[in-house]
Structure 1
Amino acid sequence: MKKWFIGFILLIAVAVLAACGGNDNEESGDTTDQGTETKEIQFGATAGPYSDMITKAIKPGLEAKGYTVKVVEFSDYIQPNNALDNGDIDANLFQHTIYLENFAKQNNMDLTALISVPTAPMGIYSEKYTSLNEVEDGATIAIPNDPTNAARAFNTLQDEGLITISESADPLTVSEKDIVANKKNLEFQPIEAGQLPRAIESADLSAVPGNFALAASMDLLSALALENMLDPYRNIVAVKAENEDSQLAQDIQAVVESDEFEKIIDEEFAGFGKPTWMK
């Protein structure tokens, strides 16, 4: 009888402790409204418009899904992928697909593009002309000296009717040698992309990539023409390939595909070109 009584007391004590433990969990604040554990993530970006895009258009949507989001800013185009590869951050937003694929291949990384986002396009700017119709014969135009951005400049000039590119040329690798007609006899001046905003003062025209234009406090909508950007040049959210199908990846895609995301883009990022899937 004594053994039975002691056993009964122990059983009651265990039940009371279990109940207390359950109450502690409910009051601890470690759960969201959906009953799932809070998830802390690090989202990397270069300082500027894409860091702002995460903060204004992506972070709120992820927080509504139960995540705690820290935006990590970088000052170069090397460290964001290094940090993603070694697990210091969970995703990044700063680069287009071509850059990601080349960087990953050269550095033996297994990174992948998750979804493309609206991107600041290259623009043709001028302090001399107010319209491309005014461009004179023999006008000078500063263009990027790297092959990827130079191709974007040539494609934009063709779209505006200033040059004609060979039909056999790959749009992603177009160079000056692919030009078959140059009706204004434009003189191309290749310079480092970061110097193109300043080149507006010395050249008749300057083809400035959107990120450098914004860094120089230029208004995208003041361009004489904006690039009809090919999707491989649009910036993407990148993750490690092993996490491509993770819950976080699915939630990031859902946020970027939401109506609220597009509304914020329209309100806060004027002039940004939208990827094909958004159109």
Structure 2
Amino acid sequence: MMKTVLKWVLLATLSLGLVACNDSKEPKEEKHTVIKVGATPVPHAEILEFAKPFLKAKGYELDIVEFTDYVTPNIAVDEGELDANFFQHLPYLEEFNKNKHTHLVKTVNVHLEPMGLYSKKIHSLNELKQGATIAVPNDPTNESRALDILVKQGLLSFKDVQFKTVVDIQDNPKNLHIKELDAPQLPRVLDEVDAAIINTNYALAANLNPLKDAIVIESKDSPYANIIVVKAGNENTPYIKALNEVLNSEVMKDFIAKKYNGAIIEAF
């Protein structure tokens, strides 16, 4: 009888030991070592390519997936096919979330493709006379964006609307005339107006550099800065924090300044 009892005690002990052994060998969750980011080719994918070795030093491989549209990379992040994307600004993201019922969030600003106010007649805003004419783009987003530059300089104030237009002006102490034109025409009318607010791509085509030639450019806190976007809940993961750190580093700031020579500027 004693031998039988001892036998069962021994078997129970062995079973418990095996369970403990198995528990200790449960597979641990693998570290997220590949960061998959969707981006449009220029300058976004170029910036990410430069970031690769710095992320490698932090233990992460960067897999860049290029897109030429503005819808697919957001859907891919929301569905978990991408860890992040880099192509858009915050107003676009907010409108996208509202219309597509996605759950995407901004993590950090990276760069700004700045609008600037240019003139062949004045060299500073102090020279802007009563009744001066300023040309702006006439499409909704860019017109509102251009008018925001004038608001920042205290030249105009507006009603509280999502996208500003000339009909929304409340205060206009210098009685400025705002001339709405197609964005590509703006560099060509600089001889005809006192100043024009021009998108960077059209400014560059006219040999205008935002950093050197603009009287005023958008500030770095512009809502139109290009941002890193992730699915809500992933913004504090170690791999996204590593991505943010590299893209907001001093070495990245230097790269953007040298590579793009003022066509785009860092926004962090």
TM-score, normalized by length of structure 2? 0.70
In the superposition, relative to structure 1, how do residues 249 and 223 fare at CA in structure 2: closer, same or farther (>3 Å)?
same
Answer yes or no: is 1:199 the counterpart of 2:193: no
Aligned to 2:224: 233
Pairing of 1:146-185 with structure 2 (within 5 A): 146=140, 148-160=141-153, 163-166=155-158, 169-170=159-160, 173-176=163-166, 177-181=168-172, 183=174, 185=176
Matched residues, number: 231
Q: Does 68-77 or 237-246 show the bigger shift?
A: 68-77
Correspondence for 1:142: 136
On the 8 A contact 2:187/2:203 being kept in 1, the answer is no
1:38 is displaced (CA, Å) by: 8.5
Residue 243 (structure 2) aligns with: 252
Looking at structure 2, the residues matched to 139 and 59 of structure 1 have their Cα atoms a distance apart, in angstroms, of: 47
Q: 2:93 matched to 1:100?
A: yes
The alpha-carbon deviation at position 273 of structure 1 amounts to: 4.6
What CA distance in whole angstroms lies between the structure 2 residues aligned with 1:54 and 1:215?
A: 25
Q: Counterpart amino acid of 2:34?
A: E
CA contact (8 A) 1:117 1:235 kept: yes
Match of 1:100, SS state, is helix
Q: 1:41 — aligned with what?
A: 35
Q: 1:86-132: per-residue Cα shift (whole Å, max 9, x none)?
A: 33332111112221121012101111111112312211235x44635
**Cα distance change on mapping 1:231 and 1:164 into 2, 3 Å:** closer
* Residue 90 to residue 273, structure 1, CA distance change in 2 (3 Å): same
Could you tell me how far apart the structure 1 residues matched to 2:81 and 2:246 are? 22
Please say which of residues 81-90 and 266-275 is displaced more in the overlay. 266-275
Distance in 1, matches of 2:202 and 2:79, equals 28
SS at structure 1 position matched to 2:112 = coil
Deviates more, 1:114-123 or 1:73-82: 73-82
Cα gap change, 1:43 to 1:140, in 2 (>3 Å): same
1:66 corresponds to: 59
Structure 1 residues 65 and 73, CA, compared in 2 at 3 Å: closer, same or farther?
same
Answer yes or no: is the 8 Å Cα contact 2:67–2:73 preserved in 1. Answer: yes
Counterpart of 2:5 in structure 1 is none
1:95 touches 1:236 (CA, 8 Å); kept in 2? yes
* Superimposed CA distance per residue, residues 24-74 of structure 1 (whole angstroms, 9 cap, x where no aligned partner): xxxxxxxxxxxx978333322222222222222x32321222333232222
Q: 1:61 to 1:170 in 2, by over 3 A?
A: farther
Provide the residue aligned with 2:24 in structure 1.
none
TM-score, with length taken from structure 1: 0.68
**Structure 1 Cα separation of the partners of residues 232 and 153 of structure 2:** 38
Q: Within 2, Cα distance between the matches of 1:223 and 1:245?
A: 38
Q: For residue 243 of structure 1, report the CA deviation from its aligned partner.
A: 2.0
Contact persistence 1:116–1:236 (CA under 8 A): yes
Rounded to whole Å, the distance in 1 between the matches of 2:246 and 2:208 is 29
Letter in 1 for 2:107: L
Give the partner amino acid of 2:61. Answer: T
Which residue number in structure 2 is paired with residue 131 of structure 1?
Answer: 123
The 3 A distance-change label for structure 1 pair 38 and 211 is: farther
Give unmatched runs, 5+ long, in structure 2. 1-29
Task: Provide closer, same or farther for how the CA distance between residues 145 and 246 of structure 1 changes in structure 2, counting only shifts above 3 A.
Answer: same
CA distance in 1, matches of 2:177, 2:210: 23
Does structure 1 retain, via aligned residues, the 8 Å contact 2:41–2:66? Answer: yes
SS of 1:95's partner is strand
